[in-house]
Amino acid sequence: MYDYAAVHAVYTIPVATVLTVVAKPLLTKRDLYKIGFLITIAVVYTIPWDSYLIRTGVWSYPPEAIIGPTLFSIPAEELFFFVIQTYITTLLQILFSKPVLFAAYLQNDTAPGAHDLRLRHHVGQGVLLASIVLSLLPDFQGKEGTYMKLILLWASPVLLFLWSLSYPLLLALPRSKTWLPIWIPTLYLWVVDTIALHRGTWSITSGTKLGVVVWPHLEIEEAVFFLVTNTLVVWGAYAFDNAIAILDAFPNLFPTVPTWPSPLLMVQSLLVSRAKYDQNRLYGLTNALDVLAKKSRSFYLASGVFTGRLRIDLILLYGFCRVADDLIDDAPNAEEAKQWIERFTSFLDAAYGTDSGATEVQRTLLRFPSAAQSVLSLLPVDRLPAKPLYELLEGFKIDLEFSSTKRAPIQTVDDLERYATCVAATIGKLCLSLVYFHAPDRDQQDAETRKRCIQAGTRMGRALQYINITRDVTTDACAGRCYIPSEWFKEGSFARASDTEITQLRKRILDTAFEIYANERDAIESLPRYARDGIRVAVESYVEIGRVLESRLERGLPLDFAGGGKKGRASVPRLRRLLVGWKAMAGSRGAAVGM
């Protein structure tokens, strides 16, 4: 009795519920828009086809297996299946692709490998066109091929359409992102379908099927049906993401992008010739993202929570900071490091100079390696204040004093605070400048609240740098640097201090970091709603390093091996970082879905 409803109660609704709990903290407004959009398309497109199959007797449902209400002869449980399958598969696609910056996978027609991409595109088109032709052949498998032909005729044109629009992204993405969201729900639904067919919850009419089974009770037609429907959903989701990526990546083509772009605007973006893509921008963005992934796992994790052009600008900003750090800090000697600082200063002078033009900026960029040029040229100077960037360079100058003078530059607490302000508080201020620039309601922002949040952000930046200093005492010492104030040491220097004294002083800096964190973390709740989760994840994932260090201190364990990190640098395992990020969003007070 009511077997079809029982299928949902036992097999689909619980899975959808679990996925909802997992995904809910991660969902943005655009994610919800995508889910609703795909469900609407799936239901509207499938109803005529499914109604035809039922009315022509291709498949049927025993009266006692369904509750009773129908729409165009389709049982209510079947209509619900359209919704919940699309929902489950779309959530999986979102979860698998959440860390991905789709703009980094866009390619200009002139990019390396473009010819091979077009060839694979044509092969895919050929396969899908062949399936359409096959479904139209009147003698294909006779009447026994009816169900299979109807599946191919219904699905292949849409697959061809989606493939033609989004093949560059589908081919460029890692296979784990494109295949797993298809195969995981497909295999699961094959099992569910096998159980339902065996119990007689629904049945395929003899004479309309090929009689081939994948395994006992699973007809080949049903296996193909679930494979193509999940492919339709996942390809549709990536077509949506591809359209959004184009809109966000190219301000020259689309000056403004609404939070919920219309279907017409998304199709328009997909139809833009790839020859118009700014390949230099894509190259620089990819380089910035690579630097981020390699040099800051905490910020890389947090970047996946931000969306739209804010995420792109934050990646470009942090790319600038990491490029500067690599070139200056890794210079073979102090003289070359000083030259790099001068080159960065010249670049900022040209970028922010009122009398400078593009030619002057380009001239200063020529003094950098090509990969660095690609990142620096994209620094969003029109959306960032200049002062914090110059202060960042002052922090590098402090680092140089360790090798250029006999007197350690960090003598007092004020020296420590000044250094942390230069190298970290400035980053907080710059990040929040971008947050407020891109805020959907920026014209309605309260100036006093904004000022208070930026001040809190700069203090939080110092706290995170204190955690960084605590973590890196050993590696810094190997490089001849000590950021613990000299006045704290009993003998006046790190070299004369015992391991016990150094551990106590590391704890002192860590305690200061946690005190600032406790005082300033509530200010996150006053930030624009669309950016709160991203800022919270960025802060919490870095503070988690401090928690690991604190735990090691309490247990009397060495600090330089915390979390499985390399000797001299504590780190947080990837799974723990993900859990921290998820908890940061799931536990946010008054959390609202972000942009």
Q: For 238-252, b where at least 16 C-beta lie within 10 A, e where not — what string?
A: bbbbbbbbbbbbbee
Residue recorded with tokens 């400078």: 356
Residue 416, SS3 per DSSP: helix
Q: Are residues 238 and 287 in the same domain?
A: no
The pLDDT of residue 431: 95
In a domain, 256, yes or no: no
SS3 content of the chain, % helix, strand, coil (to 5): 75, 5, 25
In a domain, 592, yes or no: no
In a domain, 265, yes or no: no
Distances (CA, A) of 301 to 98, 289, 298, 557: 10, 12, 5, 27
First to last CA, the chain: 45
Question: What pairs with residue 226 in β-bridges?
Answer: none
* Band of pLDDT at residue 553, cut at 50, 70 and 90: confident
Residue 374, SS3 per DSSP: helix
Mean pLDDT of 163-178: 94
Q: Are residues 213 and 298 in the same domain?
A: no
Q: How far apart are CA 483 and CA 472, in angstroms?
A: 9
Q: Which pairs from 512-519 meet CB under 8 Å and 24+ separation?
A: 512/463, 512/466, 513/463, 513/464, 513/466, 513/467, 513/470, 513/546, 514/463, 514/543, 514/546, 514/550, 516/459, 516/460, 516/462, 516/463, 516/466, 517/460, 517/463, 517/543, 517/546, 519/459
* Band of pLDDT at residue 444, cut at 50, 70 and 90: confident
Residue type, 345: T
Q: Are residues 407 and 508 in the same domain?
A: yes
**HSE (side-chain half, CA atoms, 13 Å) at 498:** 4
In a domain, 251, yes or no: no
Q: Are residues 229 and 356 in the same domain?
A: no
Q: How far apart are CA 314 and CA 544, in angstroms?
A: 21
Q: Are residues 517 and 460 in the same domain?
A: yes
Q: Are residues 454 and 562 in the same domain?
A: yes
Q: Are residues 231 and 329 in the same domain?
A: no
Q: Are residues 331 and 480 in the same domain?
A: yes
The pLDDT of residue 577: 78
Q: Residue 532 has which token pair?
A: 């709160």
Q: What does DSSP assign to residue 28?
A: B
What's the chain's average pLDDT? 90
The pLDDT of residue 592: 39
CATH of the domain at 289: 1.10.600.10
Q: pTM of the predicted model, to two decimals?
A: 0.91
Tell me the pLDDT tens digit for each residue of 73-129: 999 999 999 999 999 999 999 999 988 999 999 988 877 778 888 899 999 999 999
Distances (CA, A) of 161 to 107, 128, 129, 229: 19, 10, 11, 14
Q: Are residues 166 and 117 in the same domain?
A: yes
In a domain, 272, yes or no: no
Residue type, 552: R
- Residue 332: give the domain boundaries: 281-586
> Which residues are CB-contacts of 407 (< 8 A; sequence separation ≥ 6)?
401
> Which residues are CB-contacts of 446 (< 8 A; sequence separation ≥ 6)?
none
Q: Are residues 220 and 302 in the same domain?
A: no
In a domain, 232, yes or no: yes
Q: Are 234 and 178 in contact (CB under 8 A)?
A: yes
Strands 213-215 and 218-219: antiparallel
| Total count of domains within the chain | 2
In a domain, 409, yes or no: yes
The pLDDT of residue 1: 64
In a domain, 595, yes or no: no
* Band of pLDDT at residue 370, cut at 50, 70 and 90: very high
Tell me the pLDDT tens digit for each residue of 251-291: 999 999 998 999 999 999 999 999 999 999 999 999 999 98
